[in-house]
A and B are shown apart, each in its own frame.
Chain A
């Protein structure tokens, strides 16, 4: 159980293109989804947290207009990298969790990541 599907797994596109990445929880309802960025041989950098039906909460230094996040349902969140440039090339990972009340910490379940390469 607790499967998260992330699509696409790899994207190569030209500078200036907008790229959409989907994150789906396949067998559970995700109250919260997270988007991370990971640079080579480094830990995950949290970009934003999104709760179903509300606006995403972005971490400091992450451009909201650059990285658009939509969490329209309990099973789907999307990250759109708008007008992507080479410096946006990275490994993007989503995760999903169900929050079952104070004191109950459910694990995050991760997608397999999306390797984004901007030429």
Chain B
């Protein structure tokens, strides 16, 4: 069945470091892919999305490219800030079903 596999954390980076959080998926159809961010004590916020192969989603300096050949949707940011500390969830949407990864906790230290 459809699923999402996400890089395990926690991840700790220094401010201004480069971030990659890996996400791969398994799907029988043509899913849309999403990244969500959850700050402590809050719900999830949509960070970015891509609805078809080769689409690049971007927001707040974060990017992810929908790569069908490698079934991946890795999240990247060139220079992280302390305020980026949060849990990041990769998600797959197909039809009216959603599948979430297990989440990756990111801590950015000054």
Q: Does A54 contact B (CB under 8 A)?
A: no
Contact assessment for A99 and B96 in the assembled complex, using a CB-CB cutoff below 8 Å: yes
Report the minimum CB–CB distance from B29 to chain A (whole Å).
8
Nearest Cβ on chain B to A26's Cβ, whole angstroms: 14
Which residues of A have CB within 8 Å of B62? none
Query: Does the CB pair A43–B89 fall under 8 Å?
Result: yes
Query: C-beta contact mask, A26-41 vs B, less than 8 Å → 1, else 0?
Result: 0000001010000001
Does B26 belong to the interface (CB within 8 Å)?
no
Interchain CA distance A6-B105 in the complex, whole Å = 24
Q: Which residues of A pack against B, CB within 8 Å?
A: 2, 4, 6, 32, 34, 41-44, 46, 49, 93, 95, 97, 99, 102-113, 115
Query: Which chain A positions have C-beta within 8 A of B69?
Result: none
A110, B39: Cα distance in complex, Å: 13
* A117 → chain B closest CB, angstroms: 13
**CB pair B100 A43 closer than 8 Å:** yes
Closest to B102 in A: A43
- Cα separation A32 to B96 with both chains bound (whole Å): 8
The answer to whether B103 and A43 have CB atoms under 8 Å apart is yes
B98 A93 Cβ-Cβ under 8 A: no
Instruction: Verify if B12 is at the interface (C-beta below 8 Å from A).
Output: no
Inter-chain CA distance A41–B43, complex, in Å, is 13
Name, among B31, B51, B101, the residue most crowded by chain A CB atoms within 10 Å (CB to CB): B51
* A108 and B43 in contact, given A41-B105, A43-B103 (Cβ under 8 angstroms): no
Known interface pairs A4-B43, A102-B95; 18 further A-B residue pairs with C-beta atoms within 8 A, sorted by A's residue number: A6-B43, A43-B100, A44-B44, A46-B98, A49-B96, A95-B44, A97-B96, A105-B31, A105-B32, A105-B93, A107-B34, A107-B93, A108-B91, A108-B93, A110-B46, A112-B43, A113-B41, A115-B41
Task: Please report which residues of chain B, range 65-110, place their CB below 8 angstroms from some CB of chain A when the two chains form the complex.
Answer: 89, 91, 93-96, 98, 100-103, 105
Contacts of A102 in B (CB 8 A): 95
A41 to B86 alpha-carbon distance, docked (Å): 11
